[in-house]
Amino acid sequence: MKVGFIGLGAMGAAMASNLVKAGHAVTVWNRSPDATAPLVSLGAKAAGTPERAAQGEVLMSMLANDKAVREVLLDGGLLDAMDPGTVHVNHATISVELARVLAEEHARRGLGYVSAPVFGRPDVAAAGKLNILAAGKPGDVQKVQPLLEAMGTKVWPLGETPERANIVKIAGNFMLVTAVESMAEASTLTRAYGVSAADFLDIMTNTLFASPVYQGYGKLIVEERFKPAGFALPLTLKDVGLALEAGTSRRVPLPFAGVLRDTLLEALAQGDEALDISALSQVAARRANLEGTAR
């Protein structure tokens, strides 16, 4: 299939590489052109503009946030440059409000639109093992299904309304952050009583919380492996903000989301912008005046 892919951060580049490896004709674009080189070496073509990348049957995008999506797709005129019938698959974690706007703008131009945010870090994306949410008109989802399957281990259908995929992604990330914060606080508590984070989290992630999120992030906390960031703290703050925004829109109280927002702001105020979400363990340790290694 002839596919365009725009947005080649750590996630986008890994996802696009699996499309190339699956034999699709992929044209890539990124604001920083250097990011296209590794994909070109795999067999992709580099486009000088996003419009040139959008000349295929399907356009996929993995942009950073609402601002970037609006600038490229709406303000930049990309949707106007696409041929009617083209299907756009948006993998970005965006607000519910913007998801609605995009669905309307695509429909107005005769374009297909599938919201397909993903669960998984860059290493999972590189391995083609993402869990991919998918919401859009059945014909559009069916058309892009082979592409989604090339990038993920499972595609989770969520109906025709694109925003449904976005709210599941937002709510899922909210749960993920709460899991990391609970490990950070609990392991700091045990450290204060002489039980290392390594011993405590080894027990927890092999008994009560024997699941990938707890095991993966628990290991990062114990090893204090906060760089390179698979899920950077500024993006984490953005996603918690999206949860609060969505909750306010439907009058759904999210008390713990407010606590997480303030904790993340505290981390960023301490200069932790380049660190992974697992560095929330540092915030908990600083609050308790605990020095030294988590081990």
Q: What's the rounded Cα separation, in Å, for the pair 65 and 245?
A: 14
| Active-site annotation holder among 2, 169, 227, 238 | 169
Long-range CB contacts for residues 270-274, cutoff 8 Å, separation at least 24: 272/226, 272/233, 273/232, 273/233, 273/234, 274/227, 274/229, 274/232
Q: Are 120 and 131 in contact (CB under 8 A)?
A: yes
Strand runs labelled E in 151-244: 152-157
Strand partners, 60: 5, 89
Classify 122 as helix, strand or coil.
helix
Residue listed under structure tokens 């952050």 = 177
Sign for the pseudo-dihedral over CA of 64, 38, 126, 273: negative
3-state per-residue secondary structure call for 127-177: CCCEEEEEEECHHHHHHHHHHHHHHEEEEEECCCCCHHHHHHHHHHHHHHH
Q: Is 227 a catalytic residue?
A: no
Q: What's the rounded Cα separation, in Å, for the pair 161 and 82?
A: 22
Taking CA atoms, 242 is separated from 5, 93, 156, in Å, by 25, 9, 21
Q: What's the rounded Cα separation, in Å, for the pair 195 and 18?
A: 43
Q: Kindly state the DSSP code that residue 35 receives in the 8-state scheme.
A: G
Q: What residues are labeled active site?
A: 169
